[in-house]
Structure 1
């Protein structure tokens, strides 16, 4: 599991958990999850979104899929199929943001083909290999290098499998309000010209 920034760099990784552990459980038990919950990480302070001061100050957030809980600092899609057009646009925009994470893993795997197959090493050595790969990935990722690796990663059949759903995940009112504010923003001042044709 990883936290990736907008430049495809790994900012936090959690290795060593086995597949039987749910993704939400892995996150909750990680240093990142604990630090976000206890507010002990150095997260930038809330700020207004561009041209949307009327929405108030918004927290910096991470994006996840349905396997993760909705938190004021962790956005997940609206559940269900019969969503309003505004909620579908929010889900689309969140999905586009999550693609950065998938692309970062694709770039990592494109650089080191060992990640394309089963790794026959002791689990502890696999953990070390993954951490080393992420560190080297960050080191080698230069500002002009992103596009060529992205082009290679985007080939058919190279996308990562979706994370499985954990279930319900009841959210706090504060978390729901933050998601609603982002939904409003993505459907007004923060809209992009092509989003309506994508949902």
Structure 2
């Protein structure tokens, strides 16, 4: 068969997979109960409460698109498309945004994506659950997504404490957040090792590259749904017993307040025996 014939068949297959499987593999909308199930998974598997997703960006290397200048040239000194993703506790993609300039920061890509814009400005459109107490407490906190230092701290987006001279509580929080956040890094690793075209430099037009990356994400989710063992880890559930503390019922108003309350929880109600060995 000629190369053009094979290319046409591949493109038709990609389009068919997107058309038939995208909605089931990566739903565009979720119910309140769907989000609560994800939150329960993060608490059960990774001991992090009120968490709905871990977010991060991945650079998919490509040749420089024509007339693009340095827009796709990233800090790794290569040209790339940005794959921005939100991942649940079982390594499944909740949201993907593909094709942003490789030179853009992750925070910019996320806030410009439809999911990120809705999360920051109109969370009610996503059916995000109302604020709820952390396990064993009475003070309400928002449901959050977690990211690394590349994201801005918001009441609904948590990132690690910066710097090196940190208190024990802050280092514990950074460890606990990193432990939960690494699911997105693991998801990218599983994605690339399964669909190894993502380990190579894509030699196709931007539209085709976006479709290839999207199909890989769709197939990744379908395989994760079919897998009998979806989360390979040994975890312990945080204690649910409340402690005597004077807590206000008024929810935290800033990202700093929310992060502080999560950090307090990690060394009190949510304390884990092994966490002190990890800092």
Do the two structures share a fold, i.e. TM-score over 0.5? Answer: yes
Matched residue, 2:170: 87
Is the 2:90–2:231 contact (alpha carbons within 8 Å) kept by the matching residues of 1?
no
More strand by share: 2
1:14 equivalenced with 2:97 (yes/no): yes
Matched residue, 1:51: 136
Which consecutive unaligned segments of at least 5 residues does structure 1 have? 151-171
Report the CA distance between 1:43 and its aligned residue: 1.1
Matched residue, 1:146: 230
TM-score (norm 1): 0.83
Matched residue, 2:257: 177
Matched residue, 1:134: 217
Instruction: Summarize deviations over 1:103-155 as a string: whole Å, max 9, x none.
Output: 1111111211111221211122111111111111111113424368x9xxxxx
Between 1 and 2, higher relative CO (CA 8 Å, sep ≥ 6) is seen in 1
1:2 equivalenced with 2:85 (yes/no): yes
- The structure with the larger Rg is 2
Q: How many residues align?
A: 175
Aligned-residue CA RMSD (Å): 1.8
Matched residue, 2:126: 41
Distance 2:190 2:130 in 1: 30
Matched residue, 1:159: none
SS at match of 1:67: coil
1:113 equivalenced with 2:196 (yes/no): yes
Distance 2:91 2:231 in 1: 11
Report the CA distance between 1:85 and its aligned residue: 0.8
Q: 1:50 to 1:182 in 2, by over 3 A?
A: same
TM-score (norm 2): 0.60
Runs of 4+ displaced beyond 3 Å? 145-148
Distance 1:188 1:102 in 2: 28
Distance 1:122 1:116 in 2: 17
Deviates more, 1:17-26 or 1:39-48: 39-48
Which consecutive unaligned segments of at least 5 residues does structure 2 have? 1-83, 234-251
Report the CA distance between 1:173 and its aligned residue: 5.5
